[in-house]
A and B are shown apart, each in its own frame.
Chain A
Amino acid sequence: MIELDNLTVSYQRHPAVHHVSGRFAAATATAIFGPNGAGKSTLLKTIMGALKPDSGQVAFKGISRRDLAYLPQQSEIDRSLPVSVIDLVSSGHWRQSGLFGQVRRHHDEASWNALVAVGLEDFATRPISALSSGQFQRVLFARILVQDARLIMLDEPFNAVDARTTQDLLQLVARWQQEGRTVIAVLHDIAQVRSHFPQTLLMAREVIAWGDTAAVLTEERLRQASETAAHWLARAPLCQVDGEGV
């Protein structure tokens, strides 16, 4: 459903994602795992369309670019604005209600059901400024529920979230897989990956391994990943793959 073809994305000519090719399996959950600076968030942002690749491409097959929900690592939501929890969740209806469209009763019901699903229905009319960061993460998951997207990308969704909330939100990830949605998540907790994500992309700027989680997360490959990411030369030679450096 999503294919990466020889994808390279750089910051000031230093590649964060380097000649990455492969495809994300549809209707399952893939974890992106790797050390800091491995290009995991960069990869998600490139798929999402916020970053332009230097070369290579992201191909959406059998799915529209708009059928995508994305949860950034650090939300840029201005929580000082006087917006209620239910209003924020309802913004997930954007694709159906559009610019002029009415928010209909079934939209309101969907928003409410999503809040119930994340256990925050009592907070519906509170302002978003009144939530803790864990509660706020639940609200953002509720909006993803409302978006009803076939592809869901989560960038370190469980940072600063307690164990109970993490368990609840992982249940939602499991439910999305059962519903045939594709989930791609950047994670740091290897136990979470092993227990909830059938597929794993282990990367350190390049693909170290990509496939079944059990086969990917071996001692040796993890060591290989951390060693690859540690090498970072200020004056690296030009890359010669594809004859780019010529």
Chain B
Amino acid sequence: MSWLQDMLISPFADFAFMRRALVGCLALALGSAPVGLFLVMRRMSLMGDAMSHAVLPGAAVAYLLAGLSLPAMSLGGFVAGVLVAVLAGLATRYTEVKEDASFAAFYLLSLSLGVLLVSKSGSNVDLMHLLFGSVLAVDDAALLLVAGVATFTLLVLAVIYRPLLLESLDPVFMRAIGARGGIWHMLFLLLVVLNLVAGFQALGTLMSVGLMMLPAIASRLWAASVGGMLLTSFAIAALSGVGGLLLSYHYELPSGPAIILLAGLVYLLSLLFAPQGGLLPRLVRARHFTN
């Protein structure tokens, strides 16, 4: 028992920074997991990745103006992300270019601008921090941001759940009944950007996509309903957060990659063993019914 306690409880009981990181991870999981699930259901799995690159120049500009300040960099990242989402959305709506293509175009523009800004003025250390974050250095301001974003995300998703799901399922039907799908889509993209920015300080712009997408993709292999997928993806995200923190504490690993790798491991195991379309359950031939 005491061994278990040393492994699982003591790190959090003994150190305030671990407790802070724990709360941060759980809050991130709460917001990111459902957002990631909707990205998967809307066949936009790679969009999260694109958006994570898109926020970079905003954060870089803020860094140039205000130094290493979380509120400024978050705001900058948010503005850049929303700008890319809006421009790509407008391009999709008013030209012949498809959504994934216009997102690719605008995020690449944004990313190259960001790299230019960072390399012109910042040091490599700053860039590394921006890209990969550090969950063990999460302060009160960052914690409030993460918790606030998670709360906002869950509330908004609760309100727009029905139209958002219906629009993912059957966009033509939404158009036919005169319900404007575009509004819910933009609101949802706003949530994507918000959650990426929230994961900024803790996991960095690149790693925060991992907590969003990996649990969501894995959840499809476990649950056969949207509600079940929501719960599963949150459970996987939370488990990866806690487990990743403990791994990083005990084995002195960088926490961000530890968390995401753990989520990735859950995904790989799900591919093999999960009941809804995993590899092994498919090989086991259950007797079929009479009709």
Residues in A lying within 8 Å of B, measured CB to CB: 48-50, 65-66, 68-70, 72, 75-78, 81-84, 88, 91, 94-95, 99-100, 127, 147
**How many angstroms between the C-alpha atoms of A91 and B43 in the bound complex?**
21
Report chain B residues within 8 Å CB of A70: 172-173, 176
Q: CB distance A82 to B224 under 8 Å?
A: yes
B177 in complex: contacting residue of A66, A81, A100, CB < 8 Å: A66
Q: CB distance B166 to A82 under 8 Å?
A: no
Q: CB distance B175 to A48 under 8 Å?
A: yes
B169 in complex: contacting residue of A50, A69, A91, A147, CB < 8 Å: A91
**How many angstroms between the C-alpha atoms of A92 and B173 in the bound complex?**
9
**19 A-B interface contacts by CB (under 8 A):** A49-B175, A68-B176, A70-B172, A70-B173, A72-B172, A75-B170, A75-B172, A76-B172, A77-B169, A77-B170, A78-B169, A78-B170, A81-B168, A82-B225, A91-B166, A91-B170, A94-B179, A99-B159, A99-B160
Interface of A (DSSP majority class): loop
Interface size grouping (class) on chain B: 20 to 34
Report chain B residues within 8 Å CB of A91: 166, 169-170, 173
Interface of B (DSSP majority class): helix
Tell me the chain B residues, 116-175 only, with Cβ under 8 Å from chain A.
159-160, 162-163, 166, 168-173, 175
Q: CB distance A94 to B166 under 8 Å?
A: yes
**How many angstroms between the C-alpha atoms of A100 and B228 in the bound complex?**
21
Q: CB distance B178 to A66 under 8 Å?
A: yes
**How many angstroms between the C-alpha atoms of A70 and B173 in the bound complex?**
7
B265 contacts A by Cβ under 8 Å: no
Q: CB distance B162 to A99 under 8 Å?
A: yes
A-contact bits for B183-207, CB 8 A (1 contact / 0 none): 0000000000000000000000000
**How many angstroms between the C-alpha atoms of A172 and B219 in the bound complex?**
40
A82 in complex: contacting residue of B159, B170, B229, CB < 8 Å: B229
User: Quick one: given A77-B170, A88-B169, A99-B163, are A127 and B176 in contact (CB under 8 Å)?
Assistant: no
With both chains docked as a complex, state the minimum distance between the C-beta of B93 and any C-beta of chain A, in angstroms: 13
With both chains docked as a complex, state the minimum distance between the C-beta of B282 and any C-beta of chain A, in angstroms: 15
Across the A-B interface, the 10 shortest Cβ-Cβ residue pairs: A70-B176, A66-B178, A77-B170, A76-B172, A72-B172, A82-B224, A82-B225, A81-B169, A48-B176, A91-B166
Given contacts A72-B172, A78-B168, A82-B223, 13 further A-B contacts (CB under 8 A): A48-B175, A66-B178, A76-B170, A77-B173, A81-B169, A82-B224, A82-B226, A82-B228, A82-B229, A88-B169, A91-B166, A94-B166, A99-B163
Report chain A residues within 8 Å CB of B178: 49, 65-66
Report chain A residues within 8 Å CB of B168: 78, 81
**How many angstroms between the C-alpha atoms of A101 and B255 in the bound complex?**
43
Q: CB distance A81 to B172 under 8 Å?
A: no
B159 in complex: contacting residue of A72, A77, A83, A100, CB < 8 Å: A100
Report chain A residues within 8 Å CB of B23: none
With both chains docked as a complex, state the minimum distance between the C-beta of B90 and any C-beta of chain A, in angstroms: 17
**How many angstroms between the C-alpha atoms of A72 and B229 in the bound complex?**
29
With both chains docked as a complex, state the minimum distance between the C-beta of B159 and any C-beta of chain A, in angstroms: 7
B41 contacts A by Cβ under 8 Å: yes
